[in-house]
Amino acid sequence: MRRTILVGLATALLGTTSVQAADALTSLYSPTPAAQSFDWSGAYIGVVGGLGMWNSTFSDFDENMSYGSVDLSGWGGSLGATMGYNVQMGSVVVGVEGDVNWSNLGASFYDNNYDAQHDRVWNWYSTLRLRAGLAQDNALFYATAGLAAVGVDFVGDDSPPNACGDDYGYCLDETVLGLALGGGVEMEVADNMSVKLEGLYIGLPTSYADDEYAGDEDAYAVSSSAFIARAGLNWRF
């Protein structure tokens, strides 16, 4: 009888010890659940600012106010507001984004040979683009492409100061449609808040202008483009 009781106690003790040991091993070797990935889906608004290199090509077909061309380059900045919407499917993120920006991208040049002033500037630009990229937790790497609208103010005058009047060589004060291409990276920094760095190229087609003073139609052709490095801050809601 005593032997039976001792055997029972030993069996119970060994069983309890085995269960505790198994629980300890399971706890030690079980992987920690992965943190939930950041979800890029939803609408957002933001602010964006940039610094860019601006270029312009100019053709003076009849050499009314130059030796045939005056091509300019210069640095400028922009500051604007952004709105967009993303949809995330696994690690793939697609969306649409639009922005409106004040700008001083442009350059000026005075031609001593022709006593002519050339002033060219983008007063503002706006883009509407598709975005597509890959999400890695709180980082989004993306490419973007779409349309751009730019408010250009291009003036050339052979009797400065420049003004769009009777004695100017050419004057373009209009909205020109072009293309916008780029890419960048966006990262979450707080709940519903992210920062982004991107490069954006905007290219405009050639516009033609008459020389009303000389009576020449389509006497001048002007095109322009810019590469802008931009940084932004977005809020999701």
Delimit the domains of the chain by residue range: 1-30, 42-236
CATH topology for 42-236 is Porin (2.40.160)
Condensed to tens digits (0 to 9), the pLDDT of residues 35-80 reads 446 789 999 999 999 999 999 999 999 888 888 999 999 999 999 9
Cβ neighbour number for residue 104 with a 10 Å cutoff: 15
CB 80 within 8 A of CB 100: yes
Q: What is the pLDDT of residues 124-174, one digit of tens each?
A: 999 999 999 999 989 999 999 999 999 999 988 876 555 565 566 888 899
Name the 3-class secondary structure at 28.
helix
Residue 212 pLDDT: 73
Token reading at 98 = 């639009």
